[in-house]
Structure 1
Amino acid sequence: MNSSDFGGEGPQVPEVLKPLVAQYEKYTRMYQHQIDRTAPHTVNRWVATAGLNALFLLRVVMAEGWYIVCYAHAIYLLNLLLAFLQPKFDPSLEQDLAATNIEEGGDELPTTNENGRDDGKDDEFRPFVRRLPEWQFWLSATKSTVISLVCSFFIAFDIPVYWPILVMYFFALFAITMRRQIRHMIKYKYIPFDFVRKEKYGSRR
């Protein structure tokens, strides 16, 4: 009896499937390599994704169908945008945890002030850490666009619906969501874009 029978070396691939698994791993590495190469080209990536979205919208308008697919795609992009604008660590949760710790008689003192920043460090530049990084935002948005475009070629996804209601509901949802996000940004004084750079004192000769 081999040691692999006890799971020491993990599950064994049948000999018949080994060529298929090897090809799958090969194309997976090639795909990941090509995706990683696009990371530095931010503008080109988003222009290509915008082109795919324009192509998808043109497909929906010309075919006069697949409004459900378009609506689901728009809702998914809205969720991605919301995660892109939110900080990785919610300052409201940090304040709640600090307040709960004080109420329960915790030994640790709160290290943040009313603005959610460390005391004594308000003037220090700290980059905004997103809940969803830009590259992941682009990759997820591009995948969703491609999937939606592919779905628009299958009649099974063309569910009859009164599309003006979907448009009105999406814009209402977008307005409510962004209004809530802007209020959150104003309350905790953070900007999801690094317009300000850390000042450097002195100069090298």
Structure 2
Amino acid sequence: MSHSVRKYIIAGLLVWLPLAITIWVLLWLLGLMDGVFAWLLTIGQHVLPQGADASIEALRRVPFLGVVVMALLLLATGVFVTNIFGQWWVKQWDRLLSRIPIVKSIYSSVKQVSDTLFSSSGNAFREAVLVQYPHPGSWTIAFVTGKPGGEVAANLDGDHVSLYVPTTPNPTSGFFLMMPRANVRPLRMSVDEALKYIISMGVVAPPPPAPPRPLPAAAAPRN
């Protein structure tokens, strides 16, 4: 009896847990946007005349207004920076922040990583591979992030690739490795399929790759 009850509880947990985590993530994002909007309203209270306090407090009580405003702000920013005039202003902004001590180190590092990850022309996290880690005979899935460069590449013999090995079940933390390309086995699964495989600890396996199509038979020679 206890075995059957445990089985039903686990089955119910598998149904509700993904939904609960999804709702939790969405609520966290909504709370983050509302927090940024509330921060902007607080700045407005200090900048605008005192007569505007009542209007600002009324805006605070409008449900989901912060989410709508932040979404429109992101959309407007994207439209602005995709034209020539907006790109010029972005360059001036980057140049200004790159001259501020401490700030320039943090900003430039985060910008380089974000540009690499989200660039449509980049190769970071575009390929899942199989590597032996943390010791020979033990295999795990990693993602190719590029190639070593600079002084690091000068001290490596042969062709190497940069890899990110995510942890399970939280793929946002992991390890950065540089391995010879000959020790890396490419996988045909997509990055999304590899992430699902990692997060599920191997439970949600990707479908096997489709077999290659047979080549058409050569036409018989005419007499």
TM-score (norm: length of structure 2): 0.28
TM-score by length of structure 1 reads 0.30
Q: Max radius of gyration: which structure?
A: 2
Higher relative CO (CA 8 A, sep ≥ 6), structure 1 or 2? 1
Higher strand share: 2
Larger helix share, 1 or 2: 1
